[in-house]
Amino acid sequence: MKLASLKHGRDGRLVIVSRDLSRCVPVPAIAPTLQAALDDWSACAPRLAEVAVALEAGAVADARPFDPAACAAPLPRAYQWADGSAYVNHVELVRRARGADVPDSIWTDPLMYQGGSDAFLGPCDDIVLADDAPWGIDFEGEIAVVTDDVPMGVSEADAAGHVALVMLVNDVSLRGLIPGELAKGFGFFQSKPSSAFSPVAVTPDDLGDAWDGARLHGRLLSFINGVPFGMPDAGRDMTFGFPRLIAHAARTRPLGAGTIIGSGTVSNRQGTGHGSALADGGVGYSCLAEVRMIETIRDGQPATSFLRFGDRVRITMEDGAGASIFGAIDQRVARYDRA
Residue numbers of the site for its own copies (CB under 8 A)? 10, 39, 77-80, 82, 85, 100, 103, 105, 109, 111-119, 128-130, 135, 151-153, 174, 177, 182-194, 248-249, 251-259, 336, 338
Strand, coil or helix: 48: helix
Q: Nearest approach, Cβ of 94 to its own copies (angstroms)?
A: 11
How many residues are listed for the chain in this entry? 339
Q: Nearest approach, Cβ of 84 to its own copies (angstroms)?
A: 9
Q: Nearest approach, Cβ of 28 to its own copies (angstroms)?
A: 18
Q: Nearest approach, Cβ of 95 to its own copies (angstroms)?
A: 8
Q: Nearest approach, Cβ of 249 to its own copies (angstroms)?
A: 8
Nearer Cβ to its own copies (135/326): 135
Q: Nearest approach, Cβ of 276 to its own copies (angstroms)?
A: 26
Nearer Cβ to its own copies (16/261): 261
Nearer Cβ to its own copies (64/253): 253
d(CA 103, CA 96): 12
d(CA 304, CA 302): 6
The DSSP result for 239-257, as a single string, is: SS-HHHHHHHHTSSS-B-T
Q: Nearest approach, Cβ of 333 to its own copies (angstroms)?
A: 13
What one-letter code names the amino acid at 324?
Answer: S
Strand, coil or helix: 337: coil
260, exposed or middle or buried, with CB in 10 Å at 0-12, 13-18, 19+? buried
126, exposed or middle or buried, with CB in 10 Å at 0-12, 13-18, 19+? middle
Nearer Cβ to its own copies (137/210): 137
Strand pairing of 127-129 and 137-138? unpaired
Q: Which of 116, 41, 113, 33 is nearest to 75 (CA)?
A: 33
Nearer Cβ to its own copies (114/305): 114
Q: Which residues pair with 6 in a beta bridge?
A: 13, 71
Q: Nearest approach, Cβ of 277 to its own copies (angstroms)?
A: 26
Nearer Cβ to its own copies (32/256): 256
User: What are the respective helix, strand and coil percentages of the chain, to the nearest 5?
Assistant: 25, 25, 50
**Maximum CA extent, the chain:** 61
Nearer Cβ to its own copies (19/161): 161
Nearer Cβ to its own copies (24/150): 150
Give 292's DSSP letter: H
d(CA 258, CA 137): 28
